[in-house]
Amino acid sequence: MTPTRQVYFNITGVWLMYVFFALTLLVFGYGVYRRWRLWQIGRPVVRLDRLGERLRLLFKQAPGHEKLLKRYSGTGFAHLLIFWGFVFLFLGTVVVFIHEDLHIHIMQGALYLYFESLALNISGALCIAGVTVALIQRSIRRAPRLKPDKPDDTIILVSILVILVTGFIIQGLRIHLTHDPWAAWSPVGRAVGMVFAHFLSEPALRELHRATWWFHLIVVFSFIGWIPYSKLLHILTAPASILTQDLGPRGALPVVDIEKEDAPLGVSRLQDFTWKDLLDLDACTECGRCEVNCPAFLTDKPLSPKWLILNLRESLHAESGNGRGANADPKISPAELAQSPLVGAVLKEETLWSCTSCGACVEQCPVAVEHVSKIVGMRRSLVMERAEFPDDLQNMVRSLEARGHPYPGVSASRIDWMKGLAVIQLADQPGAEFEVLLWVGCAGALNQRSQSVTRAVAELFTKAGVKFAVLGREERCTGDPARRIGHEFLFQTLAQQNISTLDRYKVRKIVTSCPHCFNTIKNEYPQFGGQYEVVHHSEFLEELVRQGRLKPSATGSAKVTFHDPCYLGRYNQVYDAPRAVLDSVPGVERTEPDWNRRNSLCCGGGGGFSFMEEKQGTRMNQNRAKQLLDTGANTIAVGCPFCMIMLEDGTKTVAPDAQVRVRDIAEVLNEATE
């Protein structure tokens, strides 16, 4: 006898199921259409090219829940169980459909036993475990990141539980009533059947089976119909969002065509976003992972990346004030919300000016929501269309416009740092031969503390016999601070000036000790035709050590912890090189802060904050300094001039008496190298 089972055992009037199902599909389809139409108001953007690569990414990220498991792995694992339960049960249903409706009898033999019975039993049971954990998390542990915690969230979990439990009851009763010879392959179902059989008579079991079958069916269909009207929509939008994520370098912001006459500069209304931005709003699962790594949120700034997305979503749906967040102005009615410009009505200006553009939110988000480009998009409108932005940043912009550097009032010139060192300036020696161009950066040249880092780098290059040159007075700000605050016009002007200078001197390889310069030249200058090989000094120094051109020797002992700069780590995935440089120094004992690498916490210096007073909440630099001090290290190593300034200040304030030094990796290496 071939192992299989009767599909509609004990059920009459199956046609009714098809009627219900058609209705469900209508409701579902209409719901999806309504959302789809909303995404369509966005601007076009190409996100369906390189489909192979996209599918590979989707299959790399979704099935293993890569990002969900990296933080909050408990709940992440629970979701993994639910996800796979859904996948298996869906496939199981497809098998039934093929078998019964297409009359291709596949639900038999090994497939029936191993997959349709055993695998579905196990995954169903695991799925129940997953849902239970999630319910506990939501109703008992009540993690703040899961707010607003609407009744919907619990109803969803309970309905999944109901569907699974009734499924097992139906199976168990059928097994018992039909004396199923293959019962052993469905252990959970069989056990449930045995329990019921213990208490009820056979006719009662039959009645119960029929009733449960229809009940199960109605719950399942309602659930499917509800998907596009609830958070369940993420079953569709999450994979869609992951599939259509930005494949370009993470550190490159999208280009604005400044010359276009009538195009809006930046985002002031929902339709100025791209369709992917709007899809993101519906993809967000409210998991709160973005929020817990956000330096602004952690220090009580009026910004939560999660609420930013949810507030925008709300205005997209212009629904009732359901779960309106901290960022929104409660005085504005939902109807007005749909009509009004985003900034001011949906989001406060301070919300946008609280972001350091550290990218932690994007890194953490399991469904590829792109927060930073949205924030910068809205800043662009404020800065370029309305010319309304914080005074400190206005001063920075004036300085960039007039002098090409963001430090109003500094008295240093770009070449002061090199006093006493033999450095080739290309303006003086345009024909000089050089291996690499040292991009000094505005901080490296003009900030007193950073000047000694630049000197250390130059000294190391000399010790290693590297032929290097600098642009000197001809160097301009890369434009990173301008671009991050939304002044795309100024950014493009500076970028073009620098690119033409670099090309004039036929520069091919650039080394810089500033991750912001590094990121901009490497990832953003190609948008304007500037193609160079760009490396961070950590990578370059690591290479020199490996080649034996630098031989650090012991200088006593130091307990060192490294702080990952956002624009080196998260934006460019350079995590190992700076650590390797430190490890190459004898006597260095390295410890890791709890939050490191991709989970590193921003020092608070990015996105314009180095040029702006932090007016609200507690200080971001102190927050990070505490984490670093907790490692017990006596040296905090950095690889970024802004981290240096922020953390020096932070450690001094948090622990004024601690004998802790903040030093660049180049300084540590230089001191140990003859």
Partner 1 sequence: MHLVVCIKQILDPEIPPSDFRLDSAGRGPAEGIAPQVISIFDENALEVALQVREAAGEGRITAISIGAESAVDALRKALSMRVDDAYLIRQADFPALDTFGTARILAAALGKLPPADLLLCGRESGDWYGGQVPAFLAAQLDWPYTALVAAIRKTGSEWNLRRQSDDGWETIACSAPAVVSVTNDAQNLPRIPKVRDNMLAFRKTITVWTAADLGLTSESGCGPNTRLKTERFYIPTVSRQCQMISGDSVVQRAEELVEKLAGLRVI
Q: For residue 485, give the nearest of 406, 563, 568 by alpha carbon.
A: 406
Work out the number of other CB atoms within 10 angstroms of the CB of residue 598.
18
Each residue 584-613 as x (binds ligand SF4 by CB under 6 A) or -, in order, gives: ------------------x-----------
Task: Choose which of 53, 416, 533, 576 interacts with partner 1 (CB under 8 A).
Answer: 416
Q: Do residues 270 and 315 make contact, with C-beta atoms less than 8 angstroms apart?
A: yes
Q: Which residue number, 216 or 313, has a Cβ lying nearer to ligand SF4?
A: 313
CA 287 to chain CA mean position, Å: 12
d(Cα 389, Cα 391) in Å, to the nearest integer? Answer: 6
When asked if residue 355 is in the footprint of ligand SF4 (CB under 6 A), the reply is: yes
Among residues 358, 535, 550, 612, the one that binds ligand SF4 under rule CB under 6 A: 358
Tokens of 75: 């709940």
User: In Å, what is the CA distance from 55 to each residue of 50, 164, 215, 362?
Assistant: 9, 30, 37, 20
Residue (376 or 541) nearer to ligand SF4, CB: 376
Q: Which residue blocks in 465-567 are alpha helix, DSSP H?
A: 480-484, 488-504, 515-519, 537-546
Q: Distance between CA 365 and CA 367 in Å, rounded?
A: 6
Q: Using CB under 6 A as the criterion, what x/- string covers residues 303-322 for binding ligand SF4?
A: x-xx--x-------------
Minimum distance, C-beta of residue 639 to partner 1, in the bound complex (Å)? 27
Q: Which is nearer to ligand SF4, 354 or 561 (CB)?
A: 354
Min CB(498)–partner 1 separation in Å: 16
Tokens of 595: 């939050």
Bridge-based pairing of strands 533-536 and 468-470 is unpaired
Residues 132-171 that bind ligand SF4 (CB under 6 A): none
Tell me if 411 contacts partner 1 by CB under 8 A.
yes
Residues 6 or more apart whose CB falls under 8 angstroms from that of 17 comprise 217
Angstrom distance (rounded) from CA 107 to CA 100: 9
Our CB check for ligand SF4 shows the closer of 124 and 288 to be 288
Contact partner, 140, from ligand SF4, partner 1, none, Cβ < 5-8 Å per class: none
- Provide, rounded to whole angstroms, the least separation between the CB of residue 52 and ligand SF4: 25
User: Which tokens sit at 156?
Assistant: 């969803």
Stretch that binds ligand SF4, among 103-111, 331-339, 364-372, 557-565 (CB under 6 A): 364-372
CA gap 251, 515 in Å, rounded: 11
Short-list 493, 472, 490, CA closest to 481: 490
Cα–Cα distance measured from residue 91 to residue 107, given in angstroms and rounded to the nearest whole number = 12
Binding partner at 355 among partner 1, ligand SF4, none, C-beta below 5 to 8 Å by kind = ligand SF4
Residues 262-301 that bind ligand SF4 (CB under 6 A): 284-290, 293-296
How far is the C-alpha of 312 from the C-alpha of 270, rounded, in Å? Answer: 8
Task: Please pick, from the candidates 317, 386, 590, 619, the single residue that binds partner 1 as defined by CB under 8 A.
Answer: 386
Residue closer to ligand SF4 (CB basis): 425 or 600: 600
Rounded least distance, CB 516 to partner 1, Å: 22
CA pair distance 630, 275, nearest whole angstrom: 44
294 touches, from ligand SF4, partner 1, none (C-beta below 5 to 8 Å by class): ligand SF4
Rounded-to-integer distance, Cα 487 and Cα 468, Å: 32
- For residue 415, state whether it binds partner 1 (rule: CB under 8 A): yes
* Tokens coding 222: 């309602």
E strand intervals along 602-660? 635-638
392 binds partner 1 (CB under 8 A): no
Minimal distance, residue 327 CB to ligand SF4, in Å: 11
Q: How far apart are the C-alpha atoms of 145 and 177, rounded to whole Å?
A: 47
State in angstroms the smallest separation of the CB of 279 from ligand SF4: 12
Query: Which stretch in 10-18, 381-389, 600-608, 639-647 sits in contact with partner 1 by CB under 8 A?
Result: 381-389
Q: Say how many residues make up the chain.
A: 674
Determine which residue in the list 80, 360, 426, 568 makes contact with ligand SF4, applying CB under 6 A: 360
- Among 648, 666, 434, residue whose Cα is nearest residue 536: 666
Residues in the interface with ligand SF4 (CB under 6 A) total 29
User: Among residues 409, 420, 431, 548, which is the contact residue for partner 1, using CB under 8 A?
Assistant: 409
- Tell me which stretch binds ligand SF4 (CB under 6 A): 319-327, 356-364, 411-419, 507-515: 356-364
Instruction: Report the partner that residue 413 touches, choosing among ligand SF4, partner 1, none (CB closer than 5 to 8 A by kind).
Output: partner 1
Site for partner 1 in 470-489 (CB under 8 A): 473, 487-489
- Does 253 participate in binding ligand SF4 (rule CB under 6 A)? no
Chosen residue from 397, 469, 628, 660 binding partner 1 by CB under 8 A: 397
Nearer of residues 146 and 393 to partner 1, judged by Cβ:
393
Q: Choose between 313 and 476: whose C-beta lies nearer to partner 1.
A: 476
Q: Which does 652 bind (CB under 5 to 8 A by kind): ligand SF4, partner 1, none?
A: none
Q: Is 540 exposed, middle or buried (0-12, 13-18, 19+ CB in 10 A)?
A: buried
Instruction: Name which of residues 257 to 286 contact partner 1 (CB under 8 A).
Output: 258-259, 265
Largest distance between two CA atoms of the chain: 101
Q: How far apart are the C-alpha atoms of 113 and 184, rounded to whole Å?
A: 9
- CA dist 504 to 415, 471, 498, 658, Å? 20, 11, 10, 49
Q: How far apart are CA 279 and CA 282, in angstroms?
A: 5
Among 364, 373, 600, 631, binds ligand SF4 (CB under 6 A): 364
Question: CA Rg, the chain, in Å?
Answer: 30
d(C-alpha 69, C-alpha 79), whole Å:
9
| 398 contacts partner 1 (rule: CB under 8 A) | yes
Q: Which residues bind partner 1 (CB under 8 A)?
A: 258-259, 265, 383-387, 389, 391, 394, 397-399, 402-404, 408-413, 415-416, 473, 487-489
Q: Which residues bind ligand SF4 (CB under 6 A)?
A: 284-290, 293-296, 303, 305-306, 309, 355-361, 364-365, 367, 369, 371-372, 602
